[in-house]
Amino acid sequence: MSLTKRYSGYTSYAYLDADTDYKVFDLADELARVEPHLVPLSTEEEARAGALVERCPLVSLHEHLGVFPAHIEETPEYVRHGRMATAFRGLAASHWDCVFDNLMDGICTIHSRSGWQWDDVLHDLGMRLCDLAHQDFVIHCRRVADIHRAHDEGRVALVASMEGAAMIEHEVDRIDLLYGFGVRALGITYSESNALGNGLKERHDGGLTAFGRKAVERMNKVGMLIDCSHCGDQTTLDTIEHSEMPILLSHIGARALWESNRLAPDEVLEACAAKGGVIGVEAAPHTTLTRNHRVHDLEAFMEHFEYIKALVGVDNVGFGPDSLYGDHVGLHRTYAANLSLKEAHGAHRPDQAYEPVEYVKGLENPTEGSKNILRWLVAHGYSDEDIEKVMGGNALRLLGQVWA
């Protein structure tokens, strides 16, 4: 079961000859890059948390499972080699049974300078799946049954996801190809606009395009989960309206608590939930801040969760922490332009001054987040039923509706 993962010690690309078949980089420690933090529990609460982990499939709706270089400034060269390692050791120490892995994402510049090209994303995806094919701990997840299997067998189900659809260009059939290659969740846009609609960095959001409507229809037909976490507000609302299936906001927060383009207004959150969608709460550094918590940590993150839960109900919220194995803040500094961070967060406002952090305490990586989110819910008196829903049940319900 989940407390005892079935992991035999495999490390990425162990089937190849290091420094002969590929360049070796010194990678970040998957478990102790920074001082670990664990939410304290009483003996009774500890037993309850353990029982929940054993009984309930736990799903993270958004992470990056690649391991980054220990010296984060080496990341551009690491990326160009096109062979990112997967954090098998970190996953084995986590509580997650299923993780939506978004691969290299906005830094996928293997063959191009700007990234998000068809060759780039297929190289990234194919290399990672080749690595997975040489081990028996992480399952390439294609259907809901794979998640239950992972939980029952002490494995982890990895859902291949992509945050934006720029790489399909004007070819709707590329959605089918991505599905055939094993991708099961696709964003309409990243922060930049594309042929489908407008990203959140744009000053003017014209909404879903005619091609975007065709793409939404095709995703519905093939059983691809639609994500609008990086879309402009109108593009998200149009997608929700046009889609026959509920959608996902995999990693986001409440703009009512902190004014940022990266977070969603109540109107968008309510529309997503009204259609049966699920909202995953984000924890990437300096995103889900609040006026009560200006130092980004677990408490700030959970304030967004509680706000969204109160707004849309416990049946439509989950967690997509968007964490990774490495220096996330340093990565943002290195790739500020590629990730559109300035535009995503909007103009600086004096009333929203905050204290920068070097990492998000309690949510530093997917392993730590998997434990502390559950422990926080237990410590704050949430019922077993509600914990089961937000930690995985709501996600499983959505996937059962959408996936073919």
Q: Residue 22 falls within a domain, yes or no?
A: no
Quick one: pLDDT at residue 261?
94
Q: Residue 26 falls within a domain, yes or no?
A: no
pLDDT higher than 80, residue 387: yes
Quick one: pLDDT at residue 346?
54
Q: Residue 150 falls within a domain, yes or no?
A: yes
336 confidence band (pLDDT: 50, 70, 90): confident
What is the Cα–Cα distance from 176 to 218, expressed in whole angstroms? 8
Q: What is the mean pLDDT of residues 324-352?
A: 77
Quick one: pLDDT at residue 343?
60
Q: Residue 27 falls within a domain, yes or no?
A: no
Domain count, the chain: 1
59 bridge partner residues: 98
Quick one: pLDDT at residue 345?
58
- pLDDT of 353-374, one tens digit each? 999 999 999 999 999 999 999 9
Q: Residue 344 falls within a domain, yes or no?
A: yes
Q: Residue 21 falls within a domain, yes or no?
A: no
Q: What is the CATH number of the domain that holds 313?
A: 3.20.20.140
pLDDT higher than 90, residue 338: no
Structural domain of 368: 43-402
Quick one: pLDDT at residue 351?
77
pTM attached to this predicted model: 0.96
Q: Residue 128 falls within a domain, yes or no?
A: yes
- pLDDT of 302-329, one tens digit each? 999 999 999 999 999 999 999 999 999 9
- pLDDT of 241-267, one tens digit each? 999 999 999 999 999 999 999 999 999
Q: Residue 4 falls within a domain, yes or no?
A: no
